[in-house]
Structure 1
Amino acid sequence: MKRGRIIKVSGPLVVAEGMDEANIYDVVKVGNKRLIGEIIEMRGDKASIQVYEETSGLGPGDPVVTTGEPLSVELGPGLIESMFDGIQRPLDAIAEKAGSFLTKGVEVLPLDREKKWHFVPKVKVGDEVKAGYIIGEVQETTVVNHKIMIPYGVEGKIKAIAEGDYTVEETVVEVETDKGIKNVTLMQKWPVRRGRPYAEKLNPISPLVTGQRIIDTFFPVAKGGSACVPGPFGSGKTVVQHQLAKWGDAEIVVYIGCGERGNEMTDVLNEFPELKDPKTGETLMKRTVLIANTSNMPVAAREASIYTGITIAEYFRDMGYSVALMADSTSRWAEALREMSGRLEEMPGDEGYPAYLGSRLADFYERAGKVICLGEDGREGALTAIGAVSPPGGDLSEPVTQSTLRIVKVFWGLDAQLAYRRHFPAINWLNSYSLYLEKIGSWMNENISEDWVELRTSAMTLLQEEANLQEIVRLVGIDALSEKDRLKLEVSKSIREDYLMQNAFHDIDTYASLDKQYKMLKLVLAFGEEANRALEAGVYLNKIIGMEEVRDKIARAKYISEDEISKIDDIREELTKAMDELIAEEGVTNA
């Protein structure tokens, strides 16, 4: 190991000399307490190091030792249900060893070295294997079957394999390669800044069903897609991401709390073990990995936390799982980049962010995707990346939001005005978009109903017309509108309040299946069609609007449970019948 010495300390940035044998992105141990750091710049024999721990107490002359390896994560059984910091140190193990707060220099291994896992082989002696081949399985939790894969770069013939209980460091398989015997354990390592390889990238066409009506119906995200949730403080970014983590139909959830408030991560920790997974009946934690780098943790580790999280997500994707990654929030990650860039005295770009902000964001989001994994079975895996963005003052023209929008295909724009009016989720339907609409629309037409796209288009048209009509109302008053236009305002209001508004804290309304969403939207639009029919028959608008009983049932359809959604069809029939009666009354009156 090559030893250098510190010549400068500037917050989380340390400069050391005598590091001519080190490489960029090598992990180093800094000072007598062996703090973890990473080389981010080399000039001659001087290395600039970002330290992932508190640097108070370091001074010139203190030793720096390079490990010769890049920042890597340990991948193996024990990841699920765990909570790590930004550089994959398990927080519960740190708490046991050093108390409730992060202590400088505490060394804890990411995966438990003592726990034994039951390994069930899926190959036999003599089988040829390559990188990505599944050689066995470990039942990690009641819902996650952890598939043990041949590490990248290993190819050969199985020499020895046996079922049994092993720790993550014990050899489970011996592979005879051209370079001799290679021992394979339950655990493998992977550098966080390098995307894991795959056989082929596929076109994502199926939706990640979230149970959130405004997302699934109007702005869907594909499995293997990328999305961003920008919005000002208090508009509900974190609640939206919690909902996606809870209800999205991904098999594995990786949740990264990057620079957010500690109490929000506490909410996740308290909620997820109690939440019942609708698919398995187990708690949500049984398929979740948490990465917590809260706002009071060392700033440099925020930069690493995003890469740590997405590398773990790629690992589960390689097993053939559908993985959803939530990053809350990438703005805090970008602020960490800006701070380190400033300390390195690099030329600043827009608003002080480094000139490479856009390329770093692209590196992150482009690791999402639907792929054919390496291996013999051609299994498909998907990694969906959803990042929250916290623009200062809600200004969506700032660099992090704009750089993100150039990369992702779905934009859920949160609106402070909607949040103030208690409309949640506060996603603005007029400035949000999804570039997956065409592909997912075809999937919906095939799998849910052949008129799904038609219904969505009708509802979106009404909402856009409502915005134009509201301008006229503000200028000259509602009396200037025709009865048909006033009816459009009523139907649009029903779409907004009875369909788009969704209560995350209501047992039934928190989640709506695609079938329920279809029936609800058809019901709301049926009111508009039936009301138009009545208007043409000469019924006054006031009488139509005054149909309190049936309109109340339409408004309360969101609270009908999933196993009783046929009742929504009954309400539609009741609506048609009530409108027929109105038209008949009008006919008698006119006669």
Structure 2
Amino acid sequence: MEGKIVLINGPVIKALHMQGFKMREMVMVGFKKLIGEIIILEGDFATIQVYEETSGLKIGEPIVSTGSPLSLKLGPGILGGIFDGIERPLKKINEISYGFIPEGIGLISLDEEKLWNVEIKVNIGDELKEGDIYASVQETNAIVHKIMVPPNVFGTVIDVKESGFYNIETTIVTLKQENKIYELKLYQYWPVRNPRPVKEKKSIFKPLVTGQRIIDIFFPLAKGGTCAIPGGFGTGKTMTQHQLAKWSDADIIVYIGCGERGNEMTEVLEDFPKLIDPRTNMPLMNRTVLIANTSNMPVAAREASIYTGITIAEYFRDMGYHVAIMADSTSRWAEALREISGRLEEMPAEEGYPAYLPSRIAEFYERAGYSTNLNGTEGSVTVIGAVSPAGGDFSEPVTQNTKRFVSAFLGLDKNLAYARHYPAINWLSSYSSYLPLLKEWYEENVAEDVIILREKMLKLLYEENQLLEIVKLVGEDVLPDDQRLIIETAKCLKSAFLQQNAYNDLDTYVPLNKQYKMLKVIESFYDKGSEAVKIGVPISVVANKDILEKIYKMKYNVPNNDFSLIDDLKKDIAEFFDKLIEKYRK
């Protein structure tokens, strides 16, 4: 079955004699056998998006069917790998063709020659159903790769290998189901645009603990949840995602560099292999997958890279792991949709984006979730997408449509970033809808009053924002002392708690219990200070420099495994104010 090219428009190809082909089928385009996907079928005509550079392609060259949709090879060798948008290994490509991806290199994927130490889990005569684990491979020091029966496959084991060293192409288990024979290897194929099936999607009840104070206490993320991190240029989107990748308590990280600048992606590719996993003291890459699709790579592959990443995440979720996927950035993905839509001559919607932009964004975030898998294990996919609105304008279509489909919104503020306040998450515009779902977990695992404390501190920040408007007009001196105390406490809260230093060993990651105790110290200062102000103690005395300095420095002085210094500081604050109140009452 062969078609013929009749039009070439960048990555969009039109072909004739295509009546035997299928929608979304993967095809080989031209004599170079470029990889493409059919996106429109009209009678004898088809429109194809090509995932490689099309320069040099000619009218009349053939289109050859592969018989399957764009699919990933899922098996040992994914972890620690660096792939392009359609799961081709960039390290291997670099060995074949140094410095660039050659045209027509084909769908090379996982290493087919490498031998893996396979532990067999089944015997002849066992009944297996979809999702069952029939073998395992210790893929890295951190992760055991569980080899599962693909969805929609089941039967009786009629042949099985012994435990030993095999490559991924070896048939490990043979299943028989009536007249059908299934040969199971160490990998399976899955079409990227189809969500992998689960037994049941569950309600969210566990937080994704990140060690970042403003996120964990003020705007918590959830395992199986969705989050958007929008921000203009230089506000720290990539740095925030790096911190989440390194410190969050997800088992596996999938990082998608989608349409980012080459120098930014180079920094990611150089930095990630050097990062040490705080759990194991081994390289973080042992539980990370990087998908690199820079802005100068073919635009169609950028559109596919998001689906490649989420499919890999779902595959590891099916093994019972908690996976966090970082997409940086979904704006570049939306721009790829816009470019392809323009070449297809579709009617543009708002700001030139296609009319189906909201549904595509929804489809992507919908694949997050906490679920019971086909094999009975529990796993989750948490999706954290960075959004890069032009000029930091949050009213543009990608940010607004993303906001509709995510439950946590961490808006980055350029004024905070320019003031070197990182993470530059604006506490006035950010929110998390997961708080009611996670309340019980926080009360059981942190403290009973942690949610009340959070609300109290946020209220202070809101009040301070209103007071600062008055201060701009008439100055701080005209405010009563109780309002000046709110400003002083909010200042303390911002510097001592919300601002976090990623380059300081103690401050880069903070356990939840320490976060709570730090917030209790600031609350103690405000409560005792309010008591003092009420009996007439001047704010200049209440805002004692020595006490405030100790509060500001606690994030650098208190070890993460011993909180006694925080308890001592709380006692010092109580003693200071008790003496002060006693003195002024006399």
CA distance in 2 between partners of 1:579 and 1:480 (Å): 24
Structure 2 residue matching 1:533: 3-state secondary structure:
helix
User: Which residue matches 1:553?
Assistant: 550
Report the Cα distance in structure 2 between the residues aligned to 1:82 and 1:147, rounded to whole angstroms: 17
Aligned match of 2:11: 12
The equivalent of 1:563 in structure 2 is 561
For structure 2, the residue ranges without an aligned partner over 5 or more in a row are none
Counterparts of 1:116-195 in structure 2 under 5 Å?
116-161=115-160, 162-195=162-195
| SS of the residue 1:272 aligns to | helix
- SS of the residue corresponding to residue 147 of structure 1 reads strand
Tell me the CA shift for residue 580 of structure 1: 2.1
Compute the displacement of 1:108 (Å).
Answer: 5.3
- Give CA deviations for 1:322-357 in whole Å, capped at 9, x if unaligned: 000000000000000001001111111111111110
| Aligned 1:202-351 pairs, distance under 5 A | 202-351=202-351
Cα deviation, 1:173-217, whole Å, max 9, x if unaligned, reads 111212332110000000000000000000111100011111111
Structure 1 CA distance for aligned equivalents of residues 175 and 156 of structure 2: 5
With normalisation by structure 2, the TM-score equals 0.98
2:80/2:287 contact within 8 Å kept = yes
Residue pair 1:7, 1:61 contacting (<8 A) in 2 also? yes
Post-superposition offset of 1:46:
1.2
Q: Which moved more, 1:535-544 or 1:109-118?
A: 535-544
Counterpart contact for 2:258–2:293, Cα < 8 Å: yes
Matched with 1:58 is 57
1:35 is matched with 34
Contact preservation (8 Å) 2:35, 2:107: no
Q: Retained in 1: the 8 A contact 2:253–2:287?
A: yes
Q: Is the 8 A contact 1:230 1:237 kept in 2?
A: yes
**How high is the sequence identity, in percent, across the aligned residues?**
55
In 2, the alpha carbon distance for the partners of 1:542 and 1:445 equals 37
Question: How far apart, in 2, do the equivalents of 1:49 and 1:11 lie?
Answer: 11
Secondary structure of 1:575's match? helix
In structure 1, distance between residues paired with 2:210 and 2:112: 36
Match of 1:95 in 2: 94
Q: What is the letter of the counterpart of residue 215 of structure 1?
A: I
| Maintained 8 Å contact 1:365/1:408 | yes
Q: Is the 8 A contact 1:169 1:185 kept in 2?
A: yes
Alignment-mate amino acid for residue 295 of structure 2: S
**Cα distance in 2 for residues equivalent to 1:516 and 1:341:** 50
- Aligned-partner Cα distance in 1 for 2:576–2:471: 30
- Checking the alignment, whether the CA contact within 8 Å between 2:133 and 2:148 is kept in structure 1 is yes
Shift of 1:574: 1.2
Alpha-carbon distance, 1:420 to partner: 1.3
Give the distance between the partners of 2:508 and 2:464, measured in 1 at CA. Answer: 26
3-state SS of 1:324 partner: strand
Q: Give the letter aligned to residue 548 of structure 1.
A: K
Whichever residue aligns with residue 271 of structure 1, its letter is: D
Residue ranges of structure 1 left out of the alignment (5+ in a row): none
Q: Which residue of 2 aligns with 1:411?
A: 409
Mapped to 1, the partners of 2:561 and 2:401 lie a distance apart of 43
- Does the 8 Å contact 2:492/2:548 carry over to 1? no
Q: Distance in 1 between matches of 2:2 and 2:175?
A: 36
1:371 aligned residue = 371
**AA at the equivalent of 2:554:** A
Q: Which amino acid aligns with 2:273?
A: P
Picking from 515, 518, 521, the partner of 2:516 is 518
**Equivalent residue runs for 1:439-518 within 5 Å:** 439-518=437-516
Kept in 1, the 8 Å contact 2:35–2:106? The answer is no
Counterparts of 1:65-80 in structure 2, within 5 Å, are 65-80=64-79
Q: 3-state SS of the aligned residue for 1:564?
A: coil
- Shift of residue 523, structure 1, vs aligned partner: 0.8
The answer to whether the 8 A contact 1:3-1:64 is kept is: yes
Compare 60-69 and 332-341 and name the one that shifted more: 60-69
Whether the 8 Å CA contact 2:120–2:136 is kept in 1: the answer is: yes
In the TM superposition, residue 473 of structure 1 has moved relative to its aligned partner by 1.3
Query: In the TM superposition, what is the alpha-carbon distance from 1:268 to its structure 2 partner?
Result: 2.0
Structure 2 residue identity aligned to 1:117: W
Distance of 1:485 and 1:143 partners within structure 2: 52
Q: Which amino acid aligns with 1:553?
A: K
**Partners of 1:468 and 1:371 in 2: how far apart?**
43
2:231 and 2:413 in contact (8 A); partners too: yes
User: Contact 1:98/1:106 (CA < 8 Å) preserved in 2?
Assistant: no
**Structure 2 residue corresponding to 1:420, chosen from 418, 421, 427:** 418
Which sits farther off after the overlay, 499-508 or 78-87? Answer: 499-508
Structure 1 residue 60 displacement after superposition? 0.6
Deviation at 1:402, TM superposition (A): 1.0
CA shift, 1:538, in A, is 3.1
Counterpart in the other structure of 2:572: 574
- The offset of 1:449, in angstroms, is 0.6
Whichever residue aligns with residue 317 of structure 1, its letter is R
- 1:113 alignment counterpart: 112
**Aligned residue in 2 for 1:383:** 381
1: distance between equivalents of 2:464 and 2:392? 24
Of stretches 78-87 and 43-52 in structure 1, the one that deviates more from structure 2 is 43-52
- Which residue number in structure 1 is paired with residue 582 of structure 2? 584
Tell me, in whole angstroms, the C-alpha distance in 1 between the residues paired with 2:180 and 2:308. 32
* Residue identity matched to 2:461: L
The answer to whether the 8 A contact 1:160-1:174 is kept is yes
Residue type matched to 1:568 in 2?
I
CA distance in 2, matches of 1:568, 1:110: 52
Separation in 1, partners of 2:506, 2:104: 47
Aligned-residue offset at 1:484? 0.3
Q: Which amino acid aligns with 2:243?
A: Q
User: What letter corresponds to residue 495 of structure 1 in structure 2?
Assistant: L
1:535-569 deviation digits (Å, cap 9, x = unpaired): 23432211111x22221111011112212322111
> Does the 8 Å CA contact 1:8/1:60 hold for their aligned counterparts?
yes
Name the CA distance, whole Å, in 2 between partners of 1:203 and 1:398: 31
Residues in 2 aligned to 1:56 and 1:272: alpha-carbon distance in whole angstroms: 33
SS at match of 2:59: coil
- Is 1:360 aligned to residue 360 of structure 2? yes
SS in 2 for 1:406: helix
CA deviation map 1:426-445 (0-9, x unaligned):
11111111110111122111
- The Cα of 1:224 is off from its aligned counterpart by 0.1
Q: CA deviation at 1:271?
A: 2.0
Q: In 1, distance between residues paired with 2:144 and 2:11?
A: 39
Give aligned pairs, total. Answer: 584
